[in-house]
Amino acid sequence: MMQALIQRIWRSRGLAAAMLWPLSMLYGALAAIHRAWHGRRPKAQLPVPLVVVGNVIAGGAGKTPVTLAVVAQLLAQGWRPLVVSRGYGRRAAAGEAPRCTFEVATDSKAADVGDEPLLIRQRSGVPVWIGADRLQAARDGLSAHPRCNVVVCDDGLQHLGLQPDVALIVFDARRTGNGWLLPAGPLREPWPGRWTERNAGHAPYTWVIDTEPATATPLPTPAALRSVAAPRQLATLARNGHGHTQPLAAWRGQHVHALAGIARPESFFAALRDRGLTLAGTTALPDHYDFDSYIGRSDLPNPLICTEKDAVKLWPHHPDVWAVALSVQPDPTWWPAFEAALRQLAAQRGHPTEASD
């Protein structure tokens, strides 16, 4: 499929990538002009610390699992987080204003709010606000939930209207691919580019999050940044839309069908095989696939196992489908430094940090 072909092109500087390289130069020039223009504009600061989770390569590298891990840690330490997101893949309502923002409810439809914001809302239980203007989404969310004392943005490193206090740059096994900018390579921006010791990304605190630290390819990390190992793991339990759970091990020795509409479907299929499952068939779909073609279908394989991001779109029509969570486990020795940074930032803004305040 096209997505797999693009990923192969981006792995090396072969003929296909070389043919696209002039477009990469144009992309880079336009992006530099855009950054320079935004750099001259005054930066608005939120009244609470802002943590931006993102990546410098196209496609999913584990941003949403990292966001969920960060939110879970914040909740455990007594913080009251608000999550903001663009809501990629959602369908704008007729006549919707460009700067509109919305709160995600647990029963929202993925088509209205986006699959990742809905997953975050259902998994974490914290307020989630979406909007193309993520700064406005954060402001509106804080206005609606004034007790929230930290904002976590799921994907926003290239959203130059934001002024992050903490930047978490997520990498997976692809690293930087062939090292070229889009469309000849996977890079959204030059790496390390602005993330150097001289100018560490315009964020007071920046960490590189490695979701696949076991890969043999070294992670290219500037000297000024610390790399944090956060292995991506597949849950041992699956859950369906009825709320029932079942160990993945229960399907060993049986034939199951796996489905994934994520950036790298094969990584999900490989993780299921690593758990000892025999995949009789696989269905790889584009990232953020809307599943409209699955509504009303009665011929879905059984059992069918998918990712949680797919499940929020499948379950309203096919609750018998089983979903398996993908999570990351950051190095526990990193959390104290992360929390100390947030406490210092909150103290500078005069905002309470304890749940009892």
Same domain, 207 and 318: no
Residue 110 is assigned to a structural domain of this protein: no
Same domain, 270 and 288: yes
Same domain, 246 and 335: no
Q: What is the pLDDT of residue 251?
A: 96
Q: What is the pLDDT of residue 232?
A: 92
Q: Lowest-confidence range among 14-18, 213-217, 320-324, 338-342?
A: 213-217
pLDDT band at 10 (very low <50, low <70, confident <90, very high): very high
pLDDT band at 201 (very low <50, low <70, confident <90, very high): low
Mean pLDDT to the nearest integer, 77-96 = 86
Q: What is the pLDDT of residue 137?
A: 96
Same domain, 276 and 302: yes
Same domain, 292 and 279: yes
Q: What is the pLDDT of residue 357?
A: 44
User: Which range of residues forms the domain containing residue 286?
Assistant: 233-328
The DSSP line for 201-252 is TT-SEEEEEES-TTSSSPP---TTSEEEE--EEEEEEEEETTS-EEEGGGGT
Same domain, 244 and 225: no
* Sequence-separated (6 or more) residues with CB below 8 Å from residue 23: 183, 184
Q: Answer yes or no: is pLDDT of 89 > 50.
A: yes
Residue 355 is assigned to a structural domain of this protein: no
Q: What is the pLDDT of residue 356?
A: 38
Q: How far apart are CA 221 and CA 304, in angstroms?
A: 39
Q: Answer yes or no: is pLDDT of 255 > 90.
A: yes
* 19 and 180 Cβ atoms separated by less than 8 Å: no
Same domain, 174 and 60: yes
Total domains present in the chain: 2
Residue 267 is assigned to a structural domain of this protein: yes
Q: How far apart are CA 182 and CA 187, in angstroms?
A: 6
Residue 187 is assigned to a structural domain of this protein: yes
Same domain, 153 and 271: no
Residue 86 is assigned to a structural domain of this protein: no
Q: What is the pLDDT of residue 57?
A: 94
Q: What is the pLDDT of residue 355?
A: 44
Q: What is the pLDDT of residue 196?
A: 78
pLDDT band at 95 (very low <50, low <70, confident <90, very high): low
Same domain, 259 and 214: no
- In whole numbers, what is the pLDDT of the chain averaged over residues? 91
Same domain, 240 and 220: no
Same domain, 222 and 342: yes
* Residue 171 DSSP SS3: strand
Q: For residue range 21-72, what is the model confidence (pLDDT) as tens digits? A: 999 999 999 999 988 887 677 677 899 999 999 999 998 789 999 999 999 9
Q: Answer yes or no: is pLDDT of 242 > 70.
A: yes
Residue 281 is assigned to a structural domain of this protein: yes
Residue 192 is assigned to a structural domain of this protein: yes
Residue 286 is assigned to a structural domain of this protein: yes
pLDDT band at 241 (very low <50, low <70, confident <90, very high): very high
Same domain, 259 and 305: yes
